[in-house]
Chain A
Amino acid sequence: MGEKKKTTIVLFSGDYDKSMAAYIIANGAAAYDHEVTIFHTFWGLNALRKDEQIDVKKGFMEKMFGKMMPRGAEKMGLSRMNFAGFGPKMIKDVMKKHNAMSLPQLIEMAQEQEVKLVACTMTMDLLGLQQEELLENIEYAGVAAYLADAEDGNVNLFI
C-alpha cells in the first residue's frame, strides 16, 4: 500500500478545544484512508496522560509540573473562555446536546482507526512525564521520526 496518502499533525497545544480540532481532523483523515500520525509535544502530551496518579520516581520540579498540568484529556482547559474551569463544563454540556464526541472518545476512536499516536521523548523529559503515565499503545520518538512521516505527507498541521 505504498500509495496511501499521509496526514501528519503536531499537537503542541494542551487546550481541550484545540486538541479536539486535531483529533477530529485525524479521525476524518483516517476515514479518508490516510496514514495518520499525531506527534504530541510540550502541552499536547497531556492529551496522552492517564487520568489516575501513577507512582513513578520524580524530582521536585517534575513533580510540580505533573501536578500543575492536566492529567489527561478530560481535565484540559479551553484556549478561550476557560473561566477557571467553568468554560469546559459549559462546552461539554453543549457538546452533549449536539451529540458531538468528547475528546477522550475522539482519542479512543483515533486509536481504533489506527492513528499513530506519538509522544515526543525530549519534551517528556522536560515536563517530567514518564511512559508509565501515558496511554498504552502509543509510540515514542523525536523530530527525525516525525519528519520521516511528514516529508512525504499530504496534509501537515501544527496545532
Chain B
Amino acid sequence: MIVDKVLDAKGLACPMPIVKTKKAINELESGQVLEVHSTDKGAKNDLTAWAKSSGHELLKHEEENNVLKFWLKKG
C-alpha cells in the first residue's frame, strides 16, 4: 500500500487524535492514503465513526505493541 502521509498521534488524548487526523487529511488529495498512529484506546471507534461520517474509507487497522495503526483513504 502506498502511504502518502503518516500522522503520529501517539500519546495524545481525546479529542486530539481526531482533530489532528482531520487536519492531516485536509492536506491530502482525494484517493491518497493517510496512516495514523495512536495510543488512545478510543481511537478505533472514534476513527471508524469519523471516517464513515466524513466520507473517507478506513482501509485497514492493526495493533502493534499497544499502538493502534490506521490507514485511511481520503474520499
**What is the count of residue pairs linking A and B with beta-carbon distances less than 8 angstroms?**
32
Give the docked Cα–Cα distance between A24 and B11 (Å). 17
Q: How many residues of A sit at the interface, in one of the four size bands? A: 10 to 19
Q: How many residues of B sit at the interface, in one of the four size bands? A: 10 to 19
Per the 8 Å Cβ criterion, residues 2-45 of A in contact with B are 24, 27-28, 30-33
B50 touches A31 (CB 8 A): yes
Asked if A100 lies at the interface with its beta carbon under 8 angstroms from chain B, I say: yes
Give the docked Cα–Cα distance between A109 and B13 (Å). 14
A32 touches B13 (CB 8 A): no
**Which of chain B's residues has its CB closest to A34's CB?**
B53
**Which of chain A's residues has its CB closest to B55's CB?**
A33
B 42-72 binary contact with A (CB < 8 Å = 1; else 0): 0000000010011000000000000000000
